[in-house]
């Protein structure tokens, strides 16, 4: 557990250590463009993966290795095809996207490539986690962020002093990890030449619900940044995105803890164990997240006051509200694991549709009728309601007995 948590935390520490450099060297507009670049990847990941990442996590404990390898290899075709299809789609709609979201022309090829490479990284991490290769997991996590940040600084200083250098560093570091992923998957028999058309059809069927769920996660946690860019411009998006970056530490810590907890929880769920058997883990997780939130608030105040440009200090209140929202989401994410494990399509669809509509309604109302501060509070409202929904559906699936 220490290795999983420390790796995720240290990766974020490395990223944060470089944050003052990018904030002080790049313009607020460049920060805003990078925010849209990163948010686009988060938004489109569920579209190109179609729930495959959920399947390769859940089925690891359900299937023999040979059957699992066939599932893994068949599912891998989906992100390849969808990533390629995005290129002409982006090219056709490049002008409207530029006018509305400052969508750069380079995004036409950058984002599809990054989406596929990011899928490879996520699949690699899942395989390492499920095989309990904690040390290799930690090494790969730290290798990716170290190469990415080092290249970004070099490119910003010596090549392009704008957002493009940061984006290129992401591509190159992800490509390195993707190469290592293919070596690992082939060596350990996870990538094979056996493709099952029936299995592919079933995967696409479940993938629609998985797509909806991942899209819902995007709308809950990331869609607000698109509303900021569309209504307030790239400079204000830069201020908002920095607050969101600091608040996202809670998400990083939550994800790191889940790297350790998910295999344990899935194994217990496979053994028909419910709330009475896992409530101790749930309580410890929530206490860990609460302690992290308190430390993060103190650290962020110091960073805004003494490290970042003085222009950012005026907007620190965005962070405080987004931090509260992030804590609530981290709790919701834990209870979602039971729903995901059972792959109940109807439950996942209802939960996802409700979350998407709720996030859209709240975000639109806040930016259209109020302000960016109101939008921050809107994230809290959304996540409170999403937590209520995740508890309700967990109860419907008899998680609490």
> What's the mean per-residue pLDDT of the chain?
79
pLDDT band at residue 149 using 50, 70 and 90 as cut-offs: confident
Give residue 357's pLDDT. Answer: 85
Kind and range of the H or E run holding 229 = helix 223-247
Mean pLDDT of 306-330: 82
Give residue 133's pLDDT. Answer: 79
| Alpha helices (H) in 271-344, listed in sequence order | 275-306, 316-342
pLDDT digits (tens, 9 = 90+) for 191-201: 776 666 665 56
The residues spanned by each domain of the chain are 2-396
More confident: 178 or 200: 178
> What is the share, in percent, of the chain residues with pLDDT greater than 70?
86
C-alpha 296/C-alpha 186 separation (Å) is 40
Number of H helices, E strands in the chain: 15, 0
C-alpha 162/C-alpha 173 separation (Å) is 18
Give residue 244's pLDDT. Answer: 81
Give residue 5's pLDDT. Answer: 64
Reference 129, options 255, 254, 4; nearest CA is 4
Reference 251, options 213, 212, 211, 220; nearest CA is 220
Asked whether residue 1 carries a pLDDT value surpassing 70, the answer given is: no
Query: Any idea which of 4-13, 71-80, 250-259 has the lowest mean pLDDT?
Result: 4-13
Give residue 335's pLDDT. Answer: 83
**C-beta neighbour count of 31 within 10 angstroms:** 24
Give residue 234's pLDDT. Answer: 64
Give residue 204's pLDDT. Answer: 58
Q: How far is CA 155 from CA 22, 161, 169, in A?
A: 12, 8, 8
Asked whether residue 336 carries a pLDDT value surpassing 70, the answer given is: yes
Q: Which residues, 6+ apart, have CB-to-CB distance to 133 below 8 Å?
A: none
More confident: 45 or 206: 45
As given in the structure block, the two tokens for residue 13 are 């520490």
Mean pLDDT of 326-346: 80
pLDDT digits (tens, 9 = 90+) for 262-298: 777 777 777 777 777 777 888 888 888 888 888 888 8
C-alpha 366/C-alpha 73 separation (Å) is 44
Mean pLDDT of 340-354: 77
Mean pLDDT of 104-133: 84
Block residue for tokens 């607050």:
243
More confident: 208 or 400: 400
> Left (φ > 0), alpha (ψ -120 to 50) or beta: where does 196 sit?
beta
C-alpha 116/C-alpha 361 separation (Å) is 31
Asked whether residue 235 carries a pLDDT value surpassing 80, the answer given is: no
> What is the share, in percent, of the chain residues with pLDDT greater than 90?
1
Give residue 179's pLDDT. Answer: 92
Reference 137, options 118, 119, 124, 120; nearest CA is 124
More confident: 294 or 40: 294
pLDDT band at residue 152 using 50, 70 and 90 as cut-offs: confident
C-alpha 78/C-alpha 80 separation (Å) is 5
CA-based radius of gyration for the chain: 20
More confident: 154 or 67: 154
């Amino acid at each position: 557990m220490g290795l999983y948590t420390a790796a995720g935390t240290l990766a974020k520490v490395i990223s944060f250590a470089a944050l003052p450099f990018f904030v002080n060297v790049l313009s607020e507009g460049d920060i805003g463009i990078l925010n849209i670049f990163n948010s686009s990847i988060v938004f489109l990941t569920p579209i190109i993966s179609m729930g495959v990442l959920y399947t390769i996590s859940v089925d690891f404990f359900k299937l023999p290795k040979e059957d699992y390898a066939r599932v893994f290899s068949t599912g891998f075709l989906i992100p390849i095809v969808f990533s390629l299809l995005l290129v002409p789609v982006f090219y056709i709609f490049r002008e409207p996207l530029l006018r509305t979201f400052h969508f750069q022309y380079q995004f036409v090829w950058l984002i599809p490539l990054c989406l596929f490479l990011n899928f490879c990284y996520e699949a690699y991490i899942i395989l390492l986690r499920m095989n309990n290769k904690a040390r290799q997991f930690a090494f790969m996590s730290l290798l990716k962020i170290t190469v990415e940040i080092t290249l970004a600084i070099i490119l910003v200083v010596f090549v392009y002093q704008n957002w493009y250098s940061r984006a290129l560093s992401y591509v190159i570091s992800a490509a390195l990890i993707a190469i290592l992923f293919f070596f690992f998957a082939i060596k350990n028999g996870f990538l094979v030449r056996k493709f099952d058309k029936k299995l592919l059809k079933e995967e696409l069927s479940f993938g629609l619900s998985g797509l909806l769920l991942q899209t819902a996660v995007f709308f809950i946690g990331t869609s607000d940044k698109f509303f900021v860019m569309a209504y307030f411009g790239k400079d204000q998006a830069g201020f908002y995105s920095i607050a969101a970056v600091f608040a996202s530490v809670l998400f990083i810590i939550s994800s790191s803890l889940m790297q350790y907890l998910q295999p344990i929880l899935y194994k217990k769920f496979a053994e028909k164990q419910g709330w009475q058997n896992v409530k101790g883990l749930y309580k410890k997780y929530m206490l860990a997240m609460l302690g992290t939130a308190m430390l993060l608030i103190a650290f962020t105040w110091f960073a805004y006051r003494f490290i970042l440009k003085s222009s950012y200090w005026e907007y620190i209140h965005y962070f405080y509200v987004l931090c509260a929202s992030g804590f609530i989401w981290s709790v919701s994410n834990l209870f979602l694991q039971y729903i995901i494990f059972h792959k109940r399509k109807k439950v996942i669809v209802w939960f996802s549709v409700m979350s998407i509509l709720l996030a859209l309604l709240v975000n639109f109302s806040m930016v259209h009728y109020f302000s960016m501060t109101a939008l921050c509070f809107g994230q809290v409202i959304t996540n409170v309601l999403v937590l209520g929904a995740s508890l309700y559906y967990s109860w419907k699936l008899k998680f609490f007995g």
